[in-house]
Chain A
């Protein structure tokens, strides 16, 4: 932390350490189903931060005691690869900080996952941080959203998440690691459909008057991110529909009704 304190957060040209403008997000890339054995998985990359999330479930709870009679039990476990962060060794599973991140992710998703549809079952979410350059929590949340969509778990809305920093009076979106260690920041996760906030965590001192603006900017940023993610999800759904068409056509080539065709064409 102390080593990076000479970084110029915003230069005279209004550009950040990595050449972005204050509200500019890092490039994102997403991969669906990287893990063949999981019920759903996704990898999300925001800048140099890479997180893979695997979802198992709804499945039989590993221990009977964890079953909840009227809804699914959500289990989140977080691991950080040893090479992902310079200077930080392998973090164990019992690490307090990881337990906290896991609990945060679980609590964030609990209100949107329609867990009452899966009573007495367990939905396990395994988060693995493969590369870390700031914003582990937001990227993990975004990846979890994608993995849950991939697994076909019923949700009422997307959740997208971003970090928002503050340099003097200027909010900055989507912080990288050197920025994160230097300026106060907050992590927002919101339902982009309604702009409501499901998660907000802040660990550094900020004046209350500045907070509102940061929150608003964060929620706006989440909407942009959602558009980005939705594009990717649609693309994937498109290819899946395409495949279904190819599979369906030879079978039904002869007696396909018009109504069937309509469904396929949309």
Chain B
């Protein structure tokens, strides 16, 4: 296993000293995000097949999210609901810290769980709308999140990529064709050039915001890899544009007072609002150029 090389002591104190004066090594202010880049596949080349695929970069952190759908039988205890599964993968590709050997690391487990909580448990996707015929056929929506490159704050990038992909995705139309000869019905999934695919019904758009805090209660938004190595703890909020808090996870690091914690939450509300509008304008721009309708 490659040894973890410690952050040099001088870098630690330099980052700390710079932050006390309100500067970060990449020129950002403490509560400034890195540049968010949302890229969809080329609309002319891919048109329908490119739906539900998105690459999000946050500085040098890069995530690829892909949504696919499949017809399956519903769970017996929930006949009216479709399924949503989220898989995330951080391979050795993402960075030296992720060697991809043996047991998944604690960091990976926590990341997957946070994504699960942020997107699935917060009921972002209307699962009842994924039902085709109750008790018989439902859609199984699969969201794959691949972390391509890691420079800190994987969770924010991953959640944003996941939600963008879900909102970008469209599933094909399906119809049940009963047969006269008493044989089992056929499920006809219409090719996308015959009937236009339909978007998923999304309840709300939860997005993650991560703060790191350093000694002396210095608060940082969107920490880079080096900053999170130095940080005494991180705090991740999942919020939506309706000012609802879906997930909050603060563990470790300096204990915060109630007011301090509330300050962070209030900051998070604004950040999520900005991120949502950036995401929506990216989606809108893509929608304008991507031909999905059947002519």
Q: How far is the CA of A221 from the CA of B258 in the complex (A)?
A: 14
User: How many residues on chain A are close to B (CB under 8 Å)?
Assistant: 38
Scan residues 51-98 of chain A and give those whose CB is less than 8 A from a CB of chain B: 65, 94, 96-97
Q: Is B103 an interface residue (CB 8 A)?
A: yes
Stretch in contact with the other chain, from B10-18, B42-50, B246-254: B246-254
The reply to whether B255 and A212 form a contact with Cβ atoms under 8 Å apart is no
Report the bound CA distance from A116 to B253 in whole Å: 15
- Any A CB within 8 A of the CB of B109: yes
A205–B1 alpha-carbon span in the complex (Å): 40
Q: Mark B156-187, 1 if CB is under 8 A from A, else 0.
A: 00000000000000000000000000000000
B258 contacts A219, C-beta separation under 8 Å:
yes
Contact of B262 among A97, A205, A207, A215 (CB under 8 A): A215
Cβ of A200 to closest chain B Cβ, rounded Å: 5
Q: Does B233 contact A (CB under 8 A)?
A: yes
Contacts of A244 in B (CB 8 A): none
A169 touches B (CB below 8 Å): no
Q: Is the CB of A195 within 8 A of B257?
A: yes
Candidates B113, B251, B269; contact of A108 at CB < 8 Å: B251
For residue B269, which residues in chain A have a CB less than 8 angstroms away from its CB? 208
Q: Given that A96-B113, A108-B252, A208-B265 are contacting pairs, would A197 and B244 also be in contact in the complex, using a CB cutoff of 8 Å?
A: no
Asked if A191 and B250 make an inter-chain contact with CB atoms under 8 angstroms apart, the answer reads: no
A197 and B245: CB pair below 8 A? no
| A197-B255 in contact (CB<8A) | yes
- Taken together as a complex, chains A and B put the C-alpha atoms of A94 and B258 apart, in Å, by 34
A189 nearest CB neighbor, chain B only: B251
- The interface residues of chain A lying within 8 Å CB-to-CB of B242 are 207
CA distance A205 to B117 in the complex (A): 10
A200 to B248, CA, bound (A): 7
- For A99, give its contact among B106, B121, B251, B257 (CB under 8 Å): B106
Decide yes or no whether B101 CB sits under 8 A from chain A: no
| 9 closest Cβ pairs, A-B complex | A107-B252, A196-B255, A107-B251, A202-B248, A198-B255, A200-B250, A208-B243, A99-B109, A104-B251
Binding site for A on B (CB under 8 A): 1, 77-78, 103, 106, 109-110, 112-113, 117, 121-123, 232-233, 239, 242-258, 261-262, 265-266, 269
- A-B contacts, 5 listed (Cβ < 8 Å): A2-B77, A99-B110, A194-B255, A198-B250, A205-B123
Known: A111-B252, A111-B253, A215-B261. 12 other contacts (CB 8 A): A65-B1, A99-B110, A100-B109, A103-B110, A196-B257, A197-B250, A197-B256, A198-B252, A201-B249, A201-B251, A202-B246, A206-B244
